């Protein structure tokens, strides 16, 4: 399986999940002109044009963070609780982070006017407060075991400084703990981020 990625982009969540799951993978970076490091036109592979994307051994392309993370969990039998409600809470958290936080980061990665950035900050603050309440004193977002939601949460929290939003204490502690995890250290090294 190949993971198409940009260093430090949201594909980092999938990279961490692949390591945690123990699945074999190959990293293929994408440049700003949408060319893969192995010389292919990324838009021909993925007309959506953004990462993450994975390519299966048979050439099938799968996109969207929530879907790829779920695929990794299903293929490995790891990172997804067996308990019915905790599974649904994992999917719920993935959807929430994708729609309410990831999307709200757009003004900070592009040249948006300050009033739009301020509206985004408020949305992000509220979302982090809800996630902090959900996490409570657990080690991870859903339970005391790491799930695919935590892989995505790591990226969402890592990017927070770009928005100027401070993290609630328990989310900051979670981010700090995850930075020290072997899978995160490995992903950072492989993406040349450390």
Tens-binned pLDDT, residue by residue, of the chain (194 aa): 999 999 999 999 999 999 999 999 999 999 999 999 999 999 999 999 999 999 999 999 999 999 999 999 999 999 999 989 999 999 999 999 999 999 999 999 998 999 999 999 999 999 999 999 999 999 999 999 999 999 999 999 999 999 999 999 999 999 999 999 999 999 999 999 97
| Nearest-angstrom CA–CA distance, 191 and 167 | 25
| Nearest-angstrom CA–CA distance, 30 and 92 | 29
The domains located in the chain, with CATH, are 2-77+183-190 (3.40.30.10), 84-181 (1.20.1050.10)
Tokens of 99: 């729609």
Comparing CA positions, the residue from 9, 152, 139 lying closest to residue 72 is: 152
Chain-centre distance for alpha carbon 170:
19
Residue 174, SS3 per DSSP:
helix
- The pTM for the full model equals 0.96
């Amino acid at each position: 399986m190949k993971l198409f990625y940009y260093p430090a982009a949201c594909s980092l969540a999938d990279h961490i999940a692949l390591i945690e799951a123990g699945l074999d993978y190959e990293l293929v970076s994408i440049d700003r002109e949408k060319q893969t490091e192995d010389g292919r036109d990324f838009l021909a592979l993925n007309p959506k044009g953004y990462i993450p994307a994975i390519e299966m051994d048979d050439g099938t392309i799968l996109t969207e963070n929530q879907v790829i993370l779920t695929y990794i969990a299903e293929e490995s039998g790891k990172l997804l609780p067996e308990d019915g409600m905790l599974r649904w809470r994992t999917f719920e958290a993935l959807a929430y982070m994708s729609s309410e936080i990831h999307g709200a980061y757009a003004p900070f990665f592009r040249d948006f006017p300050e009033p739009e950035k301020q509206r985004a900050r408020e949305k992000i603050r509220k979302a982090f407060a809800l996630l902090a309440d959900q996490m409570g004193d657990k080690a991870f977002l859903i339970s005391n075991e790491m799930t695919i939601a935590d892989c995505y949460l790591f990226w969402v929290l890592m990017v927070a400084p770009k928005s100027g939003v401070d993290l609630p204490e328990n989310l900051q502690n979670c981010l700090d703990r995850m930075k020290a995890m072997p899978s995160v250290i490995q992903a950072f090294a492989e993406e040349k981020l450390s």
